[in-house]
Amino acid sequence: MGLHAVISGEHKDLDRFRGKPATDTGITSVFVGPGLVASLGRISVEAGIDLPVLIDNTALQTVPDYRVRAAVSLPF
């Protein structure tokens, strides 16, 4: 079993439409959060939650309040 911290983010500049910048398509965001990972025999399970520390969008956009991560790994 283990605990880890995750820092993730994205930056997207403005799109161009017919040669002009579209004013509502840019975003910069940074998320941080804890995660838990466990190995049960051959199976690995990971779960975590990411909370925003920076969200800067260029106009009216929907942005997440938080992100949930989950994964299950099974080798074959």
Catalogue the E-assigned strands of 1-76: 2-12, 16-17, 20-21, 27-40, 43-57, 67-73
> Which residues are within 8 A (CB) of 70 and not within 5 positions of it... i.e. 6 or more apart?
46, 47, 48
Q: What is the CA radius of gyration of the chain?
A: 17
pLDDT tens for 20-69 read 888 888 889 999 999 999 999 999 999 999 999 999 988 888 888 899 99
**Residues linked to residue 41 through DSSP beta bridges, in sequence order:** none
- CA–CA separation, 14 and 25 (whole Å): 5
Instruction: Using the predicted structure, report yes or no on whether residue 4 has a pLDDT greater than 90.
Output: yes
